[in-house]
Structure 1
Amino acid sequence: MKTRPSHRTRLVPHTVNGKTEMVLDHYTVDVPVPPRDWDRTVLTAVTAAAGILVTVTVVWSTASIGDLLARVTVAPAAYAAAVAFDLAWILCMAVEWLSRYDPARAALPRRMGHGALAIAMIAVGAHGWLAGAAAIGVIGAAVSGIVKILWTVVLRHHAKPLDDKTQQWVDKQRAEAGGELAMVAINRELTRARGLVAAEEEALRIDPDADPDQSGPDPQSGSASPLPALSGPMTVKDAVRTATDSGIRDPDAVLRYVHTVADANAKPDTVARYLRRA
């Protein structure tokens, strides 16, 4: 069994002139070395090789499709658009990798990746056909197909499907976490709305500048109903509600009452709006 030295420290007592202190003692021990995990080594090498082949495929497809599109547009725009053909199915593979523990979620990016790959292969083949080299176009298109098949094999090996009950548990946990995340934005929206309401109410709240006559009926109200008694500072909205609750319905009388108990500068339109709501 192979071993390797491991440097460690420990506290030990050390006495000088009769006084003992705990000091660090450095020492070395031999620890066993686990055997090399060849399966992991091979899988890492295969994944790295697949990544290199993806780079080669992108270069080849970009050159072919870019030359094809350059027939009808400027070269920089053509080659920039050509990158999208292979980048589409590569991004789909990345999403499929992220969903390797959930086959249901991985199904959509897998299908989309196959579709994007087919379009890229058709474009590469069309370039060869238009260039008078149909065989080279077919072989060039096959390069992307081979790399995609290789990555499908690698992804299937990395995938760790869950059993049905565990998958249901994971789905419920995701739903719960997603609900909590959604409530963050909803609570922020509700807080903002409540703040706007509070600011509006605060803007309409003005201290009264005079005490109304609480002793008898309003001679100009057209009604024998006495003016309501004041119970403290009022807003325009509260004053309108108090007047209507006391039987005052005439708009002019309500406006005079609001000017008396709430805001002497209250606009008739504002009072009329609150009166309609009341």
Structure 2
Amino acid sequence: MKTRRITRERLVPHTLDGKTRMVPDEETIDIPLPPRDWDQIGINVVTGIVTLALLGCMAFSTASIGDLLSRVTPAPAAYGAAALFDLAWIGCSIIEWLARYTPDRANKARAGGYVALAVAMGAVAVHGWIAGGIATGLVGAAASGLAKGLWAIALDYQAAPLSKRDAAFFEQELSEAAVELARIPVRRRVTRARALAEGEQRTLEAENGSADPDQSGQSASGSGSSAPDVDRKSLTTKEAVRIAWDDGIRERDGVIHDAAQRLGRPVSPDSVDRYLRDLRRGA
């Protein structure tokens, strides 16, 4: 068995003058080496071959299609557009690999990749036919086909096969994660919209006076409770929350109701939550 010698540090007891302490000490040991993983070596070799094939194919296709397009357009633009032919099916192949756990998405990317490959092979074949004949065009087009085929086989070998139930399970997991991510910008937009609406309401009240002609302070639910008379034109949501807090109201719903009563308009629950958090930290 092959071994490898390593030096490691460990703590050992050391005593001086009757006092023991744990001090670092080095020791050299031999550890067994794992057997060589020929399967992984083979995958690495294939990955290198695929990478070289893609680079060579893209260089050849770009030169070929660029020469074809440069007959009618300036060379920089022609070769820039020529690179897109291979980049399109290479990008679809990468998406196909990323979507290997969601077969529906992988199938769409796979179909798009083959369509883009067919277009690229056709362009290379046309250039070869114009430059050197039908045989030249077919051989040139085969380069892209071989590169794509080799990559497709390598991806298919490494992709784990999934049953329909497993695929459906992962689809639901990804869907739930997507909903959680989507909630973040939605909440941000809702908060911004409520803040704008609150600012607009305050502006209208400042121009026209109180928006609530009923100054009795009765709640909409008819509970009969009333809030102290305040100047609603100058009162802010933060101040209304502070007043409710000082009155001993701690429940979120109660604070929202009391603040809305004092302001004479609905208040943003998110703003109330933020002010309550500040008050609780201060308490």
Bigger Rg, which one: 1
Q: Distance in 2 between matches of 1:262 and 1:34?
A: 77
Shift of 1:188: 0.9
Q: Distance in 1 between matches of 2:102 and 2:28?
A: 47
Equivalence for 2:74: 74
**Residue range with higher mean Cα deviation, 146-155 or 167-176:** 167-176
Equivalence for 1:210: none
Q: Distance in 1 between matches of 2:35 and 2:196?
A: 67
Q: Is the 8 A contact 1:67 1:78 kept in 2?
A: yes
Shift of 1:170: 1.3
Q: Distance in 2 between matches of 1:236 and 1:18?
A: 85
Matched residues, percent identical?
A: 48
Shift of 1:166: 2.4
Equivalence for 1:61: 61
Superposed CA offset, 1:68-121 (max 9, x none): 001111111101000000110000111111122333221111111101010111
Equivalence for 1:45: 45
Shift of 1:206: 4.4
Superposed CA offset, 1:188-234 (max 9, x none): 11101100111122223449xxxxxxxxxxxxxxxxxxxxxxxxxx9
Shift of 1:162: 2.1
Q: Distance in 1 between matches of 2:205 and 2:112?
A: 59
TM-score by length of 1: 0.74
1:235 to 209, 228, 249: 209
Residue 211 of structure 2 aligns to a residue in which SS? Answer: helix
Q: Is the 8 A contact 2:93 2:110 kept in 1?
A: yes
The residue type equivalent to 1:22 in the other structure is: M
**4+ aligned runs moved over 6 Å, structure 1:** none
Shift of 1:6: 2.5
The residue type equivalent to 1:37 in the other structure is: D
Q: Distance in 1 between matches of 2:139 and 2:42?
A: 28
Shift of 1:14: 0.9
Residue 79 of structure 2 aligns to a residue in which SS? Answer: helix
Where do 5+ consecutive residues of structure 2 fail to align?
216-230, 234-283
**Residues 1-278 of structure 1 aligned to structure 2 (within 5 Å):** 1-206=1-206, 235-239=209-213
The residue type equivalent to 1:59 in the other structure is: A
Q: Is the 8 A contact 1:102 1:162 kept in 2?
A: no
Where do 5+ consecutive residues of structure 1 fail to align?
208-233, 243-260, 264-278
Q: Distance in 1 between matches of 2:103 and 2:179?
A: 22
Aligned residues: 218
Residue 83 of structure 1 aligns to a residue in which SS? Answer: helix
The residue type equivalent to 2:194 in the other structure is: R
The structure-2 alpha-carbon separation of the partners of 1:181 and 1:262, relative to structure 1 and needing over 3 Å to count, comes to closer
The residue type equivalent to 1:197 in the other structure is: A
TM-score by length of 2: 0.72
Q: Distance in 2 between matches of 1:179 and 1:133?
A: 55
